[in-house]
């Protein structure tokens, strides 16, 4: 059951949406004038908001969301996101491997891109090892490209980011846009932000008052055309799931050893240089992994003497 205060805040912001939409043109003018401004210094009097996502540092959903939060000037905005797309990483973490945290340029925010999963990002940010603080007022994960209803929540990286915050005792929101191929446009993310921003502000007010729910995080689903929505409704998590679409792949399409070289479960992922990664360190990792690959490939060669061994290849499509 949601706290009455939070519900009333939602109702309030939804009733005020018309007034907010009329001021969009003025807000856009203010934003354009501040695009070239210097990053905002940390203000101890303002709440800290941590933003993460599953789509990676270059996601338009992240860009528009952070810009809007910075433009309000109400919060200290910190960003910790994956370097690449981790949208279906689930609640996975990186163990016994070094993670790189590289500074990222996002106007008005303190930002890092991480060579890990969304859960890694939130866990690291809340550990106190990356930032000078360890507990923000709110964690916002999103805005994701694609819906996360029903069982999709278990696979979703963006939802996992909010869930990790909940497990750490920090209030959290996850936000996803119901993106449709050949219908949705990049500008829909900007519209999605304008719809969600009042909800974010309402959530922070409830956190400050102590009425935000402590036993759950909120998963916000944004319709395909955000500005045409009639509002938001509090509901329970559904049990809907999509049917997995596994495609059989012809073995003739791949050379011998292809899957050995690309299967992360065998620990054979080759080092990929990040924007600011150490070339020397990457070279050492690559040399070590090549040795491992040679060992496993030689073992695989020895096993090829069995003509009755059957191999099939499949790919999971959305």
125-156 burial string, b = 16+ CB within 10 Å, else e?
Answer: bbeeebbeeeebbbbbbbbbbbbbbeebbeeb
Which whole-number Å values give the CA distances from 211 to 45, 46, 163, 206, 208, in the listed order?
A: 21, 19, 19, 5, 8
Residue 24 has pLDDT above 80, yes or no: no
pLDDT of res. 168: 96
Give the pair of three-digit tokens for residue 100. 């790189």
Looking at residue 6, its pLDDT comes to 56
Q: Please give the distance of CA 245 from its chain centroid, rounded to a whole number.
A: 24
Contact call for residues 12 and 40 (beta carbons, < 8 A): no
Tens of pLDDT, residue by residue over 211-248, are 998 888 999 999 999 988 888 888 887 787 778 888 99
Q: Given this model, what pLDDT does residue 293 score?
A: 45
Over residues 263-281, the pLDDT tens digits come to 443 333 333 334 444 445 5
Check whether 147 has a pLDDT greater than 70. Answer: yes
Q: Which of 199, 204, 202, 201 is nearest to 219 (CA)?
A: 199
Angle value at C-alpha 177, between 3 and 9, nearest 5 degrees: 25
Residue 38 has pLDDT above 70, yes or no: no
pLDDT tens figures, 192-203: 999 999 999 999
pLDDT at 17 over 60: no
pTM of the model: 0.72
For the chain, percent of residues with pLDDT exceeding 70: 70
Q: In this predicted structure, what is the pLDDT of residue 246?
A: 87
pLDDT, residue 156, reads: 94
Q: Could you give the count of Cα atoms lying within 13 Å of 235 in the half-sphere of its Cβ?
A: 10
> What tens digit of pLDDT does each residue of 71-103 get?
999 999 999 999 999 998 999 999 999 999 999
In this prediction, residues 181-202 reach a mean pLDDT of 93
Domain spanning 41-228: which superfamily? Answer: Survival protein SurE-like phosphatase/nucleotidase (3.40.1210.10)
């Amino acid at each position: 059951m949601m706290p009455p205060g939070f519900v009333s805040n939602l109702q309030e912001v939804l009733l005020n949406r018309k007034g907010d939409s009329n001021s969009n043109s003025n807000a856009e003018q203010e934003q354009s004038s501040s695009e070239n401004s210097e990053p905002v210094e940390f203000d101890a009097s303002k709440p800290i908001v941590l933003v993460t996502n599953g789509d990676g540092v270059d996601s338009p959903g992240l860009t528009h969301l952070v810009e809007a939060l910075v433009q309000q000037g109400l919060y200290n905005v910190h960003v910790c996101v994956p370097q690449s797309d981790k949208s279906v990483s689930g609640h996975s973490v990186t163990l016994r491997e070094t993670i790189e945290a590289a500074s990222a340029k996002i106007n008005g925010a303190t930002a890092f891109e991480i060579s890990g999963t969304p859960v890694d990002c939130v866990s690291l940010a809340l550990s106190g090892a990356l930032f000078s603080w360890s507990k923000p007022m709110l964690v916002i994960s999103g805005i994701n490209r694609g819906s996360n209803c029903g069982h999709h929540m278990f696979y979703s990286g963006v939802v996992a980011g909010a869930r990790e915050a909940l497990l750490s005792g920090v209030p959290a929101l996850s936000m996803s846009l119901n993106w449709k191929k050949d219908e949705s446009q990049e500008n829909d993310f900007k519209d999605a932000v304008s719809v969600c921003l009042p909800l974010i502000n309402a959530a922070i007010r409830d956190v400050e008052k102590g009425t935000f729910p402590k036993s759950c995080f909120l998963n916000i689903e944004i319709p395909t055309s955000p500005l045409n929505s009639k509002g938001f409704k509090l509901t329970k998590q559904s049990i809907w799931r999509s049917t997995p679409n596994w495609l059989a792949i012809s073995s003739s399409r791949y050379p011998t050893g292809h899957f050995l070289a690309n299967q992360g479960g065998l620990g054979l992922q080759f080092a990929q240089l990040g924007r600011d990664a150490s070339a020397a360190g990457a070279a050492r990792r690559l040399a070590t992994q090549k040795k491992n690959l040679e060992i496993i490939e030689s073992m695989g060669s020895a096993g090829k003497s069995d003509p009755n061994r059957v191999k099939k290849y499949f790919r999971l499509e959305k």
